[in-house]
């Protein structure tokens, strides 16, 4: 990661879970399959020595059906457990169904993922405690999984507690669609995932329609007036960008990601040109979530050109930190040819990006003085 130029590592779910990580059993311990708590401490220390921050993935919308709070809620609802004797009281809500048996709320129809009760004070205190604990232990921030499914007022009660303990932590939520600025204001999150931009980058290059990208960059400018979005062109829930639009156009997608406002992230493997198609079936995510080799030397040399491209554009990004909240404006706009200028918030710096898919995909990034910063 240091060689790539990254500034941090965002982990997937690492806490004790029943299977894939999103079905948590214990938020206070790292899964033994990943080395347990000691492995986390070692990872944080190693990353700190290299100047890298570590962020955690917080699954606070739901837990595994085997989480002890779930059985406790069922027992309490059935009258088998006194609320005063339930150490998990309030975390999970059950109600009596038509057949007289306790019924649980689940996440998006997944019976193994039981929703937490976000209206309960106990859940607020529990989530705040978990987040603060791992920040105390060395994490730098959190991604809030399925934040769109959790009421914003819940986050507004949790996150100020976290920020009081760790004011420099960075917390962003997974939000697929909706009124982004309103969600930011109501939830007090620092940022959210910019799915609109991801979709428009991919679709504009796929359908050869840069008008769509220009329109969404204007929306992106408006979002930057309220917050700095977390930007991406790939993640664990979507088809790999190289599979969706091909490796050459994926290079242009990366150029956009690295030259517009936001906090950009690279999904592991994309920097090696990995391909993979997400399918709507059991195990349909496996193709986009492959196991990495144990050592970099075991990676295929076929990915080296893509890796070098990522190195170069990440380096360009880091040389121009003003891009964090830069605004864009179109200089030339055609279906297959798009030139835009990214300008710093104080109007003191700029880059011009020229994207062309009329024949073989190409892009050129120019400095404010007209010199070439990068050409593909």
Q: Are residues 143 and 101 in the same domain?
A: no
pLDDT of residue 32: 98
Q: How far apart are CA 248 and CA 257, in angstroms?
A: 15
Q: How far apart are CA 74 and CA 76, in angstroms?
A: 5
Please give the structure tokens belonging to residue 370.
Answer: 């007209």
Cβ burial, residue 375 (10 Å; 0-12/13-18/19+): exposed
Q: Are residues 54 and 131 in the same domain?
A: yes
**Four-residue CA torsion sign, 26, 32, 37, 40:** negative
Per the structure, the complete domain to which residue 14 belongs is given by 7-61+118-162
Please give the structure tokens belonging to residue 25.
Answer: 């059993």
Q: Is residue 217 part of a domain?
A: no
Q: Is residue 112 part of a domain?
A: yes
Q: Are residues 122 and 56 in the same domain?
A: yes
* Model confidence, pTM: 0.95
Q: Are the C-beta atoms of 181 and 149 separated by less than 8 Å?
A: no
Tens digit of pLDDT per residue, the chain (376 long)?
999 999 999 999 999 999 999 999 999 999 999 999 999 999 999 999 999 999 999 999 999 999 999 999 999 998 899 999 999 999 999 988 878 788 899 998 888 999 999 999 999 999 999 999 999 999 999 999 999 999 999 999 999 999 999 999 999 999 999 999 999 999 999 999 999 999 999 999 999 999 999 999 999 999 999 999 999 999 999 999 999 999 999 999 999 999 999 999 999 999 999 999 999 888 888 899 999 999 999 999 999 999 999 999 999 999 999 999 999 999 999 999 999 999 999 999 999 999 999 999 999 999 999 999 999 9
Q: Are the C-beta atoms of 340 and 349 separated by less than 8 Å?
A: no
Q: Is residue 127 part of a domain?
A: yes
Closest listed residue to residue 340, CA positions, set 229, 206, 211, 197: 211
Q: Are residues 57 and 149 in the same domain?
A: yes
Q: Are residues 127 and 154 in the same domain?
A: yes
Kindly give the residue spans of alpha helices, DSSP state H, lying in 114-151.
121-136
Q: Are the C-beta atoms of 94 and 74 separated by less than 8 Å?
A: yes
Which residues, at least 6 apart from 310, have a Cβ–Cβ distance to it below 8 Å? Answer: 4, 5, 254, 266, 270, 271
Total structural domains in the chain?
2
Which stretch of DSSP H or E encloses residue 141? strand 141-144
Q: How far apart are CA 233 and CA 376, in angstroms?
A: 18
Cβ burial, residue 153 (10 Å; 0-12/13-18/19+): middle
Q: Are residues 34 and 112 in the same domain?
A: no
From 52, 84, 116, the end of a domain falls on 116
Q: Is residue 95 part of a domain?
A: yes
Q: Are residues 108 and 17 in the same domain?
A: no
Q: Where on the phi/psi map is residue 273: left (φ > 0), alpha (ψ -120 to 50), or beta? A: left
Q: Are residues 50 and 142 in the same domain?
A: yes
Q: Is residue 207 part of a domain?
A: no
Q: Are residues 71 and 107 in the same domain?
A: yes
> Tokens 């990995």 — which residue?
274
Closest listed residue to residue 147, CA positions, set 135, 159, 137: 159
Q: Is residue 299 part of a domain?
A: no
Q: Are residues 18 and 33 in the same domain?
A: yes
Q: Are residues 19 and 86 in the same domain?
A: no
Reduce the DSSP state of residue 273 to 3 states and report it: coil
From 133, 162, 191, the end of a domain falls on 162
Q: Is residue 199 part of a domain?
A: no
Q: Is residue 49 part of a domain?
A: yes
């Amino acid at each position: 990661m240091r060689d790539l130029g990254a500034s941090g590592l965002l982990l997937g779910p690492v806490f004790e879970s029943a299977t894939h990580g999103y079905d948590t059993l214990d938020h206070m311990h790292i899964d033994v399959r990943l080395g347990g708590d000691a492995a986390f401490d070692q990872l944080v220390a190693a990353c700190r020595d290299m100047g890298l921050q570590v962020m955690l993935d917080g699954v606070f919308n739901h837990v595994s059906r085997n989480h002890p709070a779930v059985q406790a809620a069922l027992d309490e609802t059935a009258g088998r457990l006194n609320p005063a004797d339930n150490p998990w009281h309030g975390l999970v809500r059950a109600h009596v169904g038509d057949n007289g048996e306790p019924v649980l709320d689940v996440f998006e129809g997944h019976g193994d993922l039981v929703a937490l009760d976000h209206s309960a004070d106990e859940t607020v205190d529990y989530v705040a405690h978990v987040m603060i604990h791992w920040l105390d232990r060395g994490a730098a921030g959190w991604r809030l999984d399925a934040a769109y499914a959790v009421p914003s007022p819940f986050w507004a009660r949790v996150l100020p507690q976290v920020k009081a303990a760790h004011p420099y932590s960075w917390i962003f939520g997974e939000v697929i669609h909706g009124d982004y600025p309103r969600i930011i204001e109501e939830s007090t999150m620092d940022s959210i995932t910019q799915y609109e931009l991801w979709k428009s980058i991919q679709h504009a290059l796929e359908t050869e329609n840069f008008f769509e990208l220009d329109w969404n960059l204007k929306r992106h400018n408006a979002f930057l007036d309220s917050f700095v979005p977390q930007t991406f062109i790939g993640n664990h829930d979507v088809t790999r960008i190289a599979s969706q639009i091909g490796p050459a156009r994926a290079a242009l997608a990366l150029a956009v990601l690295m030259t517009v406002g936001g906090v950009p992230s690279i999904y592991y493997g994309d920097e090696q040109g990995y391909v993979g198609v997400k399918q709507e079936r059991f195990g349909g995510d496996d193709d986009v979530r492959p196991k990495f080799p144990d050592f970099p030397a075991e990676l295929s040399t076929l990915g080296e050109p893509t890796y070098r491209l990522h190195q170069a554009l990440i380096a360009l990004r880091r040389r121009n930190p003003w891009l964090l909240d830069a605004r864009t404006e179109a200089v030339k706009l055609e279906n297959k040819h798009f030139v835009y200028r990214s300008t710093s918030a104080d109007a003191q710096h700029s880059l011009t990006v020229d994207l062309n898919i009329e024949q073989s995909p190409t892009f050129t990034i120019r400095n404010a003085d007209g010199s070439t910063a990068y050409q593909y």
